[in-house]
Amino acid sequence: MIIDLQRVALTYQSPDGEVDALENVSFGMEDGEFVSIVGPSGCGKSTLLSLIAGLEKPSGGRILVDGEPVTAPSPKIGFMPQRDQLFEWRNIWSNVTLGLKVRRQNTPEQEAHVRELLERYGLSEFALKRPSQLSGGMRQRCALIRTLATEPRILLLDEPFSALDYQTRLSVSADIYRIIRQEHKTALLVTHDISEAISMSDRVVVLTHRPAAVRAIHDLGTLRALGPMERRDAPEFRTYFNSIWKELDVNA
Amino acid sequence: MPEKAPSVQRLAYLRAGKRRTVSIHVLQVSLLIFSLGLWELAARLGWVDAFIVSSPSRVAATFLSLNRSGDLWLHVGTSCLETVVGFLLGTVLGTLIAVALWWSDFVSRILDPYLVVLNALPKTALGPIFIVWIGAGTGSIIAMTLAISIIVTILNMHVGFLSTDENKIRLMRTLGAGRGQILRMLVFPSNYATLFNTLKVNVGLSWVGVIMGEFLVSKAGLGYLIVYGSQVFNMDLVMTTVFILAIAAVVMYQGVLWLEKLLEKRLGVIV
């Protein structure tokens, strides 16, 4: 297993008291797998990603990435944040090479790799443009390439499409899905959109209300072979949707 | 592709816009000429005492004689130098302290009440203290300017630094960035507008500091000329100096605007 969460718990301390964010979260991911986490809003989904990324420490349980406990941000993990978070004062090229510069890995070979990624995903002609000159979908692709530039094995996606309108969202999620598959990455996506989770992943992890624990894990079985758009037309899609919807218990 | 001819409505819209701009400029200039004309007329026809209120022609004559004697540039140069030095020191030191406060929340909490008191205190009250400590001269004037601009700089820049997007900081951390890198590559450039807004405020404040300082203690400078002129009842000199001061302050403010535009395009390359 490339990611292994063992009874992960997190309690925040603040002057007003203790907040139990995560109670008992356990699941694992195989290399190359695409897993989505859905849960009621405010249940600590994003917090879980921060823990895996090594930005925070769990107050209980263990997180293993590639067999080793997580202690600090690791080059094995790439993070795709909410909205694209491209820096407007940098052009596209210097945005996508941000991670290389931070890690001081901006060698000619690494830069050639990024140039190849831009070329492969149709962005090379925009290298010298500002982020605001690009469409929402292209910005999202740049954000993904920025993540891929440092060659992580695992991608953590924190509701990356939440700022996009519905139409753009459908095509961008299909686009990002295709790139992640093509680059053979392991991906963990946090989303509040059930259909997005079903259309992109191999498995869907459903969390409970706060303090979050794993409520159910769905293996999407035959849907795995289909692309995001085809899945939405498949008959099983509704079945999965309905059972996840019930488990989320939105009215509770 | 052939250029499409603009529609009638478009042409009418453009014409109306142009007419409006032209009339605004014409009225701006007319207002100036009218005010100066009225002032001159009032002085010549004896409606007001030209000895007390001066007049545009007397201001012009004073300006020319100041220029001829060479004193003009001494005074302008002295004040500008003091303003620029005070302005730069205030901005640089204020920003450095704001960085320290951003770096350590602990330090920031300790210093908070002191900053509140220093911000509320009228800094001109410190003038006599500086004169006693530093001596009657340029040093005291610069200290005064610094005292006026540094606190505002610290507070503005600190608030700006703290408002940096949490999600961008999170992204930088996952990329493996340390605090220094986050500061240089994210916090500074995303506060570019804050920095320049602070600079614009500081240009004005620095002039207040310099003129106040020169009122208290000086042998040269525009503040000195104003005080000297009023003491010997030479209102022509006072009025002329106020005009020169207005021009110098505007030139410096425009300089900041120009610098802001110049650096904005290169921001991505610098940081």
Structure confidence by residue, pLDDT tens digits, B49-103: 888 889 999 999 999 998 898 888 899 999 999 999 999 999 999 999 999 999 9
Q: Is B208 exposed, middle or buried (0-12, 13-18, 19+ CB in 10 A)?
A: middle
List A residues 155-184 in contact with B (Cβ-Cβ < 8 A).
156
Q: Which residue has the tokens 């640089």?
A: B92
pLDDT for residue A226: 83
Name the residue in chain A with its Cα closest to that of B168.
A85
Which positions in chain B touch A73 (Cβ < 8 Å)? 173-176
pLDDT digits (tens, 9 = 90+) for B187-212: 999 999 999 999 999 999 999 999 99
pLDDT band at B5 (very low <50, low <70, confident <90, very high): confident
- Does residue A150 belong to the interface with chain B, where contact is any CB pair within 8 Å? yes
Q: Class of B57-270 per CATH?
A: mainly alpha
Q: Is the pLDDT of residue B158 over 60?
A: yes
DSSP 8-state secondary structure symbol assigned to residue A67: T
Task: Assign 3-class secondary structure to A100-157.
Answer: HHHCCCCCHHHHHHHHHHHHHCCCHHHCCCCHHHCCHHHHHHHHHHHHHHCCCCEEEE
pLDDT digits (tens, 9 = 90+) for B207-239: 999 999 999 888 888 999 999 999 999 999 999
Find out whether B82 and B143 touch, Cβ atoms under 8 Å: no
Cis preceding linkage at B2, omega within 30? no
Q: Is the pLDDT of residue B107 over 90?
A: yes
CB pairs under 8 A between A and B: 55
Q: Is the pLDDT of residue B267 over 80?
A: no
Say how far apart CA B250 and CA B204 lie, in whole Å: 9
Which positions in chain A touch B189 (Cβ < 8 Å)? 87, 89
Q: Where are the domains of chain A?
A: 1-76+153-252, 83-151
Specify the 3-state DSSP secondary structure of A210: coil
> Strand locations in chain A, DSSP E?
3-14, 17-29, 34-38, 60-65, 68-69, 77-80, 154-158, 186-190, 203-207, 212-219
Closest listed residue to residue B145, CA positions, set B99, B93, B102, B77: B93
Q: How many angstroms away from the CA of B266 is the closest CA of chain A?
A: 8
Q: Would the CA dihedral through B53, B58, B63, B67 be positive or negative?
A: negative
Indicate the CATH number of A1-76+153-252 among 1.10.357.10, 1.20.58.1180, 1.10.510.10, 3.40.50.300. 3.40.50.300
ipTM of the predicted structure?
0.86
- Does residue B271 belong to the interface with chain A, where contact is any CB pair within 8 Å? yes
Query: How do the pLDDT tens digits run along chain A, 252 residues long?
Result: 888 888 888 888 888 888 888 888 888 898 889 999 998 877 788 888 889 998 988 888 889 888 888 888 888 899 988 888 999 899 899 999 998 899 888 888 888 888 888 888 888 888 888 999 988 888 888 988 898 888 888 999 998 888 788 888 888 888 888 888 888 889 999 988 888 899 889 999 988 888 888 888 888 888 888 888 888 888 888 888 888 888 887 665
Find out whether A70 and A51 touch, Cβ atoms under 8 Å: yes
pTM of the predicted model as reported, rounded to 2 decimal places: 0.83
pLDDT for residue B94: 94
Amino acid (one-letter) located at B252 = M
Q: Which residue has the tokens 């149709």?
A: A122
Given an 8 Å threshold on Cβ–Cβ distance, is B176 in contact with A90?
A: no
Q: Would the CA dihedral through B42, B46, B50, B56 be positive or negative?
A: positive
For chain B, percent of residues with pLDDT exceeding 70? 97
Rg over CA atoms, chain B:
25
pLDDT for residue B2: 59
Give the list of residues 6+ apart from residue B60 with CB closer than 8 angstroms, or none.
none
Given an 8 Å threshold on Cβ–Cβ distance, is B176 in contact with A102?
A: yes
pLDDT for residue B235: 92
Q: Where are the domains of chain B?
A: 8-48, 57-270
Q: Report chain B's mean pLDDT, rounded to a whole number.
A: 91
